[in-house]
């Protein structure tokens, strides 16, 4: 099936099988491998991207369902050069160890701040409950999001 | 360690590629002509394979090949590289695909290779297996009892090995003459490590040279190469190159040799195509190793003043259906030998049965044996305190090994001695952070109001930086190799430094901390150091990253090479300055004449001169380049105090962690930010065992917690912020004074939490609870006890 999906500002027209997941379309068809896969039950959030401005677990959607949409992946954030303040904050606050959850975590965190520019620690922890991290114990992720919220002057 | 770069919180050098999504993990690697494998796994926990029909699967368009165990009958079973020391081990290990029989749900029996992953998975459903199901046993104790199903011919009563440490009759005598003896049955439930990246493997065989390149999610690429070549395929080591790409966490589960890491190269050879297999999470849960799973009975004897005189432990350690690579070593060397904890316990005896059951393989999971030992010891101390109606803090202090006792020989470590410590100091600091006196007041008031507030302590020690080769190796503890580490340091013509190390990093930040040590020693910028690792081509042999050994062993190898490089730089610098070697010093990146800091040559100038070799002192070889193989003289022994404060809601049984305090002593610290991160993550995993996580098999050997829907991996809102501090007692074992920090949190946290919950519920007469302490269980226990009271 033919789909037209804008990814990171570029329109892609591709032929995909109906059962291709959006995450596989991004990773295999477009070679955007920054988005990760950590589970098969929509639990981990490693695959989080933005679809039409909202955070979405890209393993929960078929590529054909995303036809006509605008998708942003982790690769979009620093595509014009400087790091996004959320990326900077994860770096500064040691919000990552193995880095596997990180692209999804950063995309989810950006969406979180869009909805709530001044979150409390508790709101951050709550807001990220769809994203699993096995390395950090989450503490420095919370600090990173907090830091980004200050940086972004939200 | 003169320069301040060591000990500072510099941002991690590995992060830019990770936060931008540029890093290449295994599944991100694409090779021309890549084919995709999917594995058919046993749906039965115990069954004979009568026949397998692959015809329909083979006929599916897009399928390149379908194979069963019979196609690889000439390939050796995987080795067990660490058998319990000094005793008979009835070893049974996996084959790359099982041929006649399976002993756990998830064992691989057939494989499909196809043009794409969807086709490979479709074809799996077309394979027909004629199974003959057999009776199942999943409990390690029941498996040893008469009448239990037998898994392996060579292991009567399903016992792989029976191992003991200590003097049984001395312990029995001491228990007999103790003022009090407390007995307790203690379960340490099975856990699933769950690195966020599952396992995977890509292999490419080149027929022209007979060489394989294998990319795999491994914490120990050199060891993988050794095992695959020398033990499984019987080919020269030089025919295989193993690469661990960016690795998304391991926690032990990625140390081992798994069937798929041998199957992919075999398939690539058969098909003439590079072949990839990437585990799904559900597949990870049944086919990758689990951790813990002990059934234990303890007897602890003490004097009326709280002095512990004896500890007797009997443990059934579940090893799963077959042995993973180092499975028998975990519940023996790393468990039984650690049962003295931070205490002078004069009489210890431990017997361990390693048992086969129809469950997934069990091997090292973060802490590996030491969390199980610490749990036993820290529960035992609390049980004694409770029995004597003493403050658990006082019982701990009473039995602590004192600073002047180091090096301390706990006897059960078979000659190794605890290196250094000041256990009271860490405890004092943690109590101060808690404000202990006040807390007990607050608790008394809460109890008046019918609230269940509790505090739990864990004054743990652990063993890191494993290990002296002669101690742990075959003649000693049964480890089938050595455990030194290696490093090469080269200072290039421009003064830029390349370190190659046999260690592997999968989240620990070695690229940063090693760079800090190099920068500190040579007086150069951190940015001028490159750390290369994880590829057997171009790095010296190393045993890999686990057991918190990469800093205490691997980085010490780097440090030792740096000393030798500095010596050579001094000799060359003196030559360049026309001074005698005795008259120069190496300081802040320069060799200068003593008392004349301006008469100096920078390390960059010296490196250039060494590389150009136009004028070298008599007999000196060109280039600043050194390789070290460092075999540690002892392990290292971090320690600390963790305190957990909980409140239990009696109406629901739910537990709120109100505070979590951790004061750890990991010796000197290279990068405090990284150490804190390790501690945070470790605590999260340890708390999770106490409260939420459990791998549960039903009676048929089906994993009930077989996905992230059912296995309670903690989320961000499960935790309060952890309050951290450190004491720093350097180890005399190595010149960096570092002990290792990767596992302390996990080892310490579990008993702290359980002790806190038991303390909270102690007014109800509760003395012990088995994990995980889910709300339903706690609610039931409260009901039982309140109705009974
Ligand atoms: S891959 Fe786990 S939620 Fe999408
Ligand atoms: S950093 Fe490893 S899973 Fe989050």
CA A68 to chain B, closest CA, distance in angstroms equals: 24
In the predicted structure, residue B3 carries a pLDDT above the cut 60 = no
Scanning B133-167, the segments in alpha helix (DSSP H) are 140-143
**Contact predicate B550/B505, CB 8 Å:** yes
Interface subset of A 36-95, CB within 8 angstroms of B: 36-41, 43-44, 46, 73-75, 77-78, 83, 87, 90-92, 94
Closest residue in B to A140 (Cα–Cα): B677
Contacts of B21 in chain A (CB under 8 A): 32-35, 73-75, 103
CA A123 to chain B, closest CA, distance in angstroms equals: 9
Contacts of A135 in chain B (CB under 8 A): 196, 249, 507, 677, 681
B467 preceded by cis ω (within 30°)?
Answer: yes
Scanning B491-629, the segments in alpha helix (DSSP H) are 510-522, 556-576, 603-612
Atom in ligand 2 nearest the alpha carbon of residue B197 = 3
Taking CB atoms and an 8 Å limit, are A41 and B713 in contact across chains? no
In the predicted structure, residue A6 carries a pLDDT above the cut 80 = yes
- What is the Cα–Cα distance from A110 to A85, expressed in whole angstroms? 9
Q: Which of A92, A106, A132 sits opposite B715 (nearest CB)?
A: A132
Condensed to tens digits (0 to 9), the pLDDT of residues B452-469 reads 999 999 999 999 999 999
Condensed to tens digits (0 to 9), the pLDDT of residues A58-115 reads 999 999 999 999 999 999 999 888 999 999 999 999 999 999 999 999 999 999 999 9
Please report the pLDDT score of residue B7 as a whole number: 94
Mean pLDDT, chain A, integer = 96
Q: Which of A31, A98, A125 sits opposite B248 (nearest CB)?
A: A98
- Tokens standing for residue B627: 């390789």
CA B226 to chain A, closest CA, distance in angstroms equals: 26
Q: B353 pairs with which residues across the strands?
A: B162, B316
Q: Does A120 touch chain B (CB under 8 A)?
A: no
Taking CB atoms and an 8 Å limit, are B716 and A126 in contact across chains? yes
In the predicted structure, residue A154 carries a pLDDT above the cut 60 = no
How many C-beta atoms lie closer than 10 Å to residue B475's C-beta?
Answer: 10
- Tokens standing for residue B287: 């086919």
Please report the pLDDT score of residue B546 as a whole number: 85
Maximum CA extent, chain B: 90
Taking CB atoms and an 8 Å limit, are B28 and A33 in contact across chains? yes
Q: B213 pairs with which residues across the strands?
A: B204, B241
Centroid of ligand 1 to alpha carbon of A34 (angstroms): 13
Share of chain B above pLDDT 90, in %: 94
Centroid of ligand 1 to alpha carbon of A43 (angstroms): 6
Scanning B177-243, the segments in alpha helix (DSSP H) are 221-226
Q: What share of chain A is helix, strand, coil (3-state, %, to 5)?
A: 35, 15, 45
**Contact predicate A128/A140, CB 8 Å:** no
Condensed to tens digits (0 to 9), the pLDDT of residues B434-450 reads 999 999 999 999 999 99
Q: B490 pairs with which residues across the strands?
A: B498, B625
> Domain B291-466+634-785 falls in which CATH fold?
Aldehyde Oxidoreductase; domain 4 (3.30.365)
pLDDT band at B558 (very low <50, low <70, confident <90, very high): very high
In the predicted structure, residue B547 carries a pLDDT above the cut 80 = no
CA A79 to chain B, closest CA, distance in angstroms equals: 9
End-to-end CA distance of chain A: 42
pTM strictly above 0.95: yes
- Strand order from edge to edge, sheet including B590-593: B584-587, B590-593, B596-602
Q: B183 pairs with which residues across the strands?
A: B299
In the predicted structure, residue B247 carries a pLDDT above the cut 80 = yes
Taking CB atoms and an 8 Å limit, are A139 and B719 in contact across chains? yes
Taking CB atoms and an 8 Å limit, are A100 and B683 in contact across chains? no
Residue B429, SS3? helix
Domain(s) of CATH 3.30.365.10: residues in chain B:
2-20+484-630, 291-466+634-785
Which one-letter DSSP state was computed for residue B381?
H
Give the best residue of A37, A137, A147 to mutate against chain B (max B CB count within 10 A): A137
- What is the Cα–Cα distance from B500 to B542, expressed in whole angstroms? 10
Q: Which of B282, B677, B716 sits opposite A142 (nearest CB)?
A: B716
**H helix and E strand count, chain B:** 20, 26
Q: Which of B222, B250, B204 is nearest to B25 (CA)?
A: B250
Condensed to tens digits (0 to 9), the pLDDT of residues B378-421 reads 999 999 999 999 999 999 999 999 999 999 999 999 999 999 99
> Domain B33-134+196-249+254-287 falls in which CATH fold?
Aldehyde Oxidoreductase; domain 3 (3.90.1170)
Taking CB atoms and an 8 Å limit, are A91 and B196 in contact across chains? no
**Contact predicate B484/B549, CB 8 Å:** no
The answer for residues whose C-beta is within 8 angstroms of residue B50's C-beta and 6 or more apart is B130, B131, B132
Q: Give all domains of chain A, ordered by start, each with its CATH number.
A: 2-75 (3.10.20.30), 85-151 (1.10.150.120)
Condensed to tens digits (0 to 9), the pLDDT of residues B592-642 reads 999 999 999 999 999 999 999 999 999 999 999 999 999 999 999 999 999
For residues B254-262, give the mean pLDDT.
97
Share of chain B above pLDDT 70, in %: 99
Strand pairing report for B308-320 and B596-602: unpaired
Please report the pLDDT score of residue B2 as a whole number: 44
In the predicted structure, residue B1 carries a pLDDT above the cut 60 = no
- What is the Cα–Cα distance from B76 to B72, expressed in whole angstroms? 9
For residues B77-90, give the mean pLDDT.
96
**Contact predicate B484/B765, CB 8 Å:** no
- What is the Cα–Cα distance from B321 to B416, expressed in whole angstroms? 33
Taking CB atoms and an 8 Å limit, are B27 and A91 in contact across chains? no
**Contact predicate B18/B507, CB 8 Å:** no
Atom in ligand 1 nearest the alpha carbon of residue A130 = 3
- What is the Cα–Cα distance from A124 to A109, expressed in whole angstroms? 8
DSSP assignment of B1-13:
--STTTTS-PPPT
Closest residue in B to A86 (Cα–Cα): B19
Which one-letter DSSP state was computed for residue A105?
H
B97-111, B341-355, B497-511, B632-646: the lowest-pLDDT one:
B497-511
Q: What is the CA radius of gyration of chain B?
A: 27
Taking CB atoms and an 8 Å limit, are B15 and A90 in contact across chains? yes
Whose tokens are 């150490």? That residue is B675
Taking CB atoms and an 8 Å limit, are A75 and B197 in contact across chains? no
Contacts of B20 in chain A (CB under 8 A): 34, 74-75, 77-78, 83, 87
In the predicted structure, residue B27 carries a pLDDT above the cut 80 = yes
Centroid of ligand 2 to alpha carbon of A107 (angstroms): 14
Centroid of ligand 2 to alpha carbon of A35 (angstroms): 13
Scanning B42-160, the segments in alpha helix (DSSP H) are 55-59, 117-124, 140-143
Q: Which of B20, B27, B708 sits opposite A39 (nearest CB)?
A: B708
Residue B738, SS3? strand
Taking CB atoms and an 8 Å limit, are A91 and B11 in contact across chains? yes
Centroid of ligand 2 to alpha carbon of A143 (angstroms): 15
CA B640 to chain A, closest CA, distance in angstroms equals: 19
Q: Which of B118, B195, B683 sits opposite A137 (nearest CB)?
A: B683
Taking CB atoms and an 8 Å limit, are A19 and B118 in contact across chains? yes
Contacts of A46 in chain B (CB under 8 A): 196
Q: Which of B21, B22, B681 sits opposite A137 (nearest CB)?
A: B681
Closest residue by CA, ligand 1 atom 3: A42
Closest residue in A to B284 (Cα–Cα): A39
Q: Which of A31, A38, A91 sits opposite B196 (nearest CB)?
A: A38
Question: Which protein residues are within 6 Å of ligand 1, measured from CB?
Answer: A 37-39, 42-47, 57, 59
Contacts of B14 in chain A (CB under 8 A): 99
CA A4 to chain B, closest CA, distance in angstroms equals: 22
Closest residue in A to B673 (Cα–Cα): A94
Q: Does A15 touch chain B (CB under 8 A)?
A: no
Q: What is the ipTM of this complex?
A: 0.98
Please report the pLDDT score of residue B788 as a whole number: 54
Give the orientation angle of helix B436-448 with respect to helix B423-434, to 10 degrees.
50
Taking CB atoms and an 8 Å limit, are A96 and B19 in contact across chains? yes
Condensed to tens digits (0 to 9), the pLDDT of residues B659-717 reads 999 999 999 999 999 999 999 999 999 999 999 999 999 999 999 999 999 999 999 99
Centroid of ligand 1 to alpha carbon of A57 (angstroms): 6
> Domain B2-20+484-630 falls in which CATH fold?
Aldehyde Oxidoreductase; domain 4 (3.30.365)
Q: Which ligand approaches the C-alpha of residue A21 most closely?
A: 1
In the predicted structure, residue B503 carries a pLDDT above the cut 50 = yes
Taking CB atoms and an 8 Å limit, are A33 and B27 in contact across chains? yes
- What is the Cα–Cα distance from B534 to B408, expressed in whole angstroms? 36
Taking CB atoms and an 8 Å limit, are B719 and A98 in contact across chains? no
Question: Which protein residues are within 6 Å of ligand 2, measured from CB?
Answer: A 96-102, 133-136; B 196, 249, 507
Strands (E) in B209-270, as ranges, are: 211-216, 240-243
Q: Does A108 touch chain B (CB under 8 A)?
A: no
């Amino acid at each position: 099936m033919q789909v037209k999906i804008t990814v990171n500002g570029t329109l892609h027209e591709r032929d995909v099988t109906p059962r291709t997941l959006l995450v596989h379309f991004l990773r295999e068809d477009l070679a955007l491998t920054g988005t990760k896969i950590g589970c098969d039950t929509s639990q981990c959030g490693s695959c989080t991207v933005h679809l039409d401005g909202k955070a979405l677990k890209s393993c929960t959607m078929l590529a054909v369902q995303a036809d006509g949409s605008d998708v942003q992946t982790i690769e979009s954030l620093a595509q014009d050069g400087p790091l996004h303040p959320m990326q900077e904050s994860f770096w500064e606050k040691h919000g990552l160890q193995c880095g596997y959850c990180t692209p999804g975590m950063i995309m989810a965190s950006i969406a979180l701040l869009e909805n709530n520019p001044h979150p409390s620690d508790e709101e951050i922890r709550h807001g990220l409950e769809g994203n699993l991290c096995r390395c950090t114990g989450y503490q420095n992720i919370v600090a990173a999001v907090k830091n980004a919220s200050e940086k972004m002057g939200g | 360690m003169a320069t301040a770069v060591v000990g500072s919180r510099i941002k991690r050098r590995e992060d830019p590629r990770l936060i931008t999504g540029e890093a290449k993990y295994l599944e991100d690697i694409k090779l021309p002509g890549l084919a995709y494998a999917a594995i058919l796994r046993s749906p039965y926990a115990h069954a004979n394979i009568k026949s397998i029909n692959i015809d329909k699967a083979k006929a599916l368009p897009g399928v390149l090949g379908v194979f069963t165990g019979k196609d690889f009958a000439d390939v050796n079973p995987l080795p067990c590289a660490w058998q319990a020391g000094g005793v008979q081990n009835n070893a049974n290990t996996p084959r790359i695909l099982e041929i006649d029989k399976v002993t756990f749900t998830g064992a691989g029996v057939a494989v499909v290779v196809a043009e794409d992953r969807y086709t490979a998975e479709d074809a799996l459903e077309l394979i027909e297996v004629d199974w003959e199901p057999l009776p199942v046993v999943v409990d390690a104790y029941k498996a040893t009892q008469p009448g239990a199903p037998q898994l392996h011919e060579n292991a009567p009563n399903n016992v792989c090995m029976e191992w003991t440490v200590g003097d049984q009759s001395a312990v029995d005598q001491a228990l007999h003459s103790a003022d009090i003896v407390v007995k307790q049955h203690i379960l340490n439930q099975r856990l699933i490590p769950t690195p966020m990246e599952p396992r995977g493997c890509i292999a490419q065989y080149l027929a022209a040279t007979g060489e394989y390149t294998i990319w795999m999610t491994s914490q120990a690429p050199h060891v993988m190469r050794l095992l695959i070549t020398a033990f499984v395929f019987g080919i020269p080591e030089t025919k295989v190159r193993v690469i661990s790409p960016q690795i998304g966490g391991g926690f032990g589960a990625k140390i081992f040799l798994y069937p798929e890491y041998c199957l992919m190269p075999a398939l690539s050879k058969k098909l003439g195509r590079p072949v990839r297999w990437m585990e799904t999470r559900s597949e990870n849960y049944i086919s990758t190793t689990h951790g813990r799973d002990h059934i234990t009975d303890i007897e602890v004897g003490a004097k009326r003043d709280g002095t512990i005189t004896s500890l007797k432990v009997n443990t059934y350690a579940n090893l799963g259906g077959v042995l993973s690579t180092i499975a028998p070593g975990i519940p023996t060397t790393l468990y039984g030998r650690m049962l003295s904890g931070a205490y002078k316990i004069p009489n210890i005896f431990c017997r361990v049965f390693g048992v086969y059951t129809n469950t997934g393989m069990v091997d090292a999971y973060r802490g590996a044996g030491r969390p199980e030992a610490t749990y036993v010891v820290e529960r035992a101390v609390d049980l004694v305190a409770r029995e004597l109606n003493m403050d658990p803090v006082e019982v701990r202090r009473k039995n602590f090994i004192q600073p002047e006792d180091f090096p301390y020989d706990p006897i059960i470590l078979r000659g190794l001695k605890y290196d250094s410590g000041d256990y009271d100091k860490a405890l004092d600091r943690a109590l101060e952070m808690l404000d202990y006196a006040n807390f007990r007041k607050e608790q008394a008031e809460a109890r008046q109001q019918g609230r269940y507030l509790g505090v739990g302590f864990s004054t743990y020690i652990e063993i890191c930086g494993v290990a002296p080769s002669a101690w742990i190796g075959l003649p000693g503890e049964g480890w089938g190799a050595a455990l030194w580490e290696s490093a090469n340091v080269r200072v290039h013509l421009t003064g830029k430094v390349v370190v190659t190390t046999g260690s592997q990093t999968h989240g620990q930040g070695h690229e940063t901390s090693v760079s800090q040590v190099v920068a500190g020693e040579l007086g150069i910028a951190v940015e001028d150091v490159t750390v290369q690792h994880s590829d057997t081509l171009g790095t010296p042999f190393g045993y890999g990253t686990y057991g918190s050994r990469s800093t205490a062993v691997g980085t010490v190898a780097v440090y030792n090479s740096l000393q030798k490089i500095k010596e050579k730089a001094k000799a060359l610098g003196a030559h360049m300055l026309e001074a005698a070697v005795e008259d120069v010093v190496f300081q802040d990146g320069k060799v200068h004449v003593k008392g004349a800091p301006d008469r100096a040559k920078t390390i960059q100038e010296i490196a250039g001169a060494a590389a150009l070799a136009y004028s070298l002192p008599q007999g000196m070889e060109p280039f600043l380049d050194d390789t070290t193989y460092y075999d540690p003289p002892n392990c290292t022994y971090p320690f600390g105090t963790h305190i957990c404060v909980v409140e239990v809601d009696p109406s629901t049984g739910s537990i709120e962690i109100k505070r979590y305090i951790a004061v750890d002593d990991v010796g000197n610290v290279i990068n405090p930010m990284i150490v804190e991160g390790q501690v945070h993550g470790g605590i999260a995993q340890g708390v999770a065992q106490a409260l939420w996580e459990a791998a549960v098999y039903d009676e048929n050997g089906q994993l009930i917690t077989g996905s992230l829907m059912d296995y309670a991996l903690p989320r961000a809102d499960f935790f309060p912020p952890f309050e951290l501090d450190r004491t720093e007692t350097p180890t005399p074992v190595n010149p960096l004074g570092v002990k290792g920090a990767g596992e302390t949190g996990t080892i310490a946290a579990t008993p702290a939490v359980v002790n806190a919950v038991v303390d909270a519920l102690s007014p109800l007469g509760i003395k012990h609870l088995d994990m995980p302490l889910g709300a339903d269980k706690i609610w039931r226990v409260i009901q039982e006890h309140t109705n009974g009271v």
